[in-house]
Amino acid sequence: MNYLEFYELAQEPFSNAPVSRFYYSSAQHAQALMRLNHAVSSMKGLAVLVGDIGAGKTTLARRMLDSLPEEEYEAALLVIVHSGITASWLLKRIALQLGVESPADEKLALLAQVYQRLVRIYESGKKAVILIDEAQMLSSREIMEEFRGLLNLEVPERKLLSFVFFGLPEIEDNLRLDPPLAQRVALKYRLEPLSAEATEAYVRHRLRLAGAPRVPFTPGAVARVHAHTRGTPRLINTLCDNALFEGFVARARDLDERLVDRVARDLAIEPSSGASAPAPGAGGSAAPARLDLAEIDRYLESLGAK
């Protein structure tokens, strides 16, 4: 028997993998999605969503991608996995995401291909949207200038391409590397940690979707989960997953405050650590020292794009 069987769960309720089925639409997540969808529907050019580590930016990015109707949008999600990428690599990757076949190596020829592809998308009645996750890794002025150039591609009626950046607060410093681009941010929204009430609803939501016939956490335990994690979804997942396992080991049907406190202490998830501290094994590891763009390409292809 494992902890899933012990608590009568059909699947892991607190996995940190971005599983769309477990998406929890808190009030602020719904507000963020509504605003970002408005930005791309109106083809405003550049929208930015910022949040601390573990706030749910990647989950929201994937949710947004899934929510854009295929008959109305040519949309793709690009995940930046290394801060050392070059502007030329990024431009070629964006071209591929837009459906450019055999992107040219020479920049002017590549830009012409991108423009022609965007015009075809426009003439088909669709809107071109690229979502950029982990956008804080785009930390060079050259790359920011590249985005500004792409946003200049337009027809008399409207812009041909919209970007949505999802990233840590440092993304605002990166945008200031190119002041004209910073001035083109049409919409900005910040994800805040979940409130105590939203944390409880989040825990119940994920347990219900995982098939739990009851909530094994006592009300006091859920309150301690919020106190330790400060409402950061990734930390909530890590703490609750470990609490379920420890409860199973102890054969405890009900998980109380003392168990949650002990697990949080073992994981070094303490109330004083704040919402921005990543949980062990929950992300935030250092980027690889050597940059292999071919390896990054293979990784991005494995993620899939809409």
Q: What pLDDT score does 114 carry? A: 96
How confident is the model over 60-96, as pLDDT tens digits? 999 999 999 999 999 999 999 888 889 999 999 999 9
What residue type is 63 in one-letter code? R
Across 231-246, average pLDDT: 96
CATH of domain 194-273: 1.10.8.60
The CA-based angle 255-280-3, given to 5 degrees, is 35
Element (H, E) at 127: strand 127-133
Chain centroid offset of residue 303 CA: 13
Distances (CA, A) of 29 to 71, 135, 267, 278: 24, 19, 27, 20
- Residue 304 in this model has a pLDDT that exceeds 70: no
Q: Establish whether domains 27-193+286-303 and 194-273 are of one fold.
A: no
Q: Domain boundaries in the chain?
A: 27-193+286-303, 194-273
- The CA-based diameter of the chain, rounded to the nearest angstrom, is 67
CATH of domain 27-193+286-303: 3.40.50.300
Q: What pLDDT score does 135 carry? A: 95
- Residue 225 in this model has a pLDDT that exceeds 80: yes
Q: What pLDDT score does 178 carry? A: 93
Q: What is the DSSP string of 27-85?
A: HHHHHHHHHHHHHHHTT-SEEEEEE-TTSSHHHHHHHHHHHS-TTTEEEEEEE---TT-
- Residue 224 in this model has a pLDDT that exceeds 80: yes
Pick the residue with more confidence: 275 or 94?
Answer: 94
Across 258-279, average pLDDT: 72
Mean pLDDT, the chain, whole residue set: 88
List the structure tokens of 259. Answer: 């168990």
In the block, which residue shows the tokens 């950061």? 232
State the Cα–Cα distance between residues 134 and 46, nearest whole angstrom: 15
Q: Give the number of other CB atoms < 10 A from CB of residue 176.
A: 12
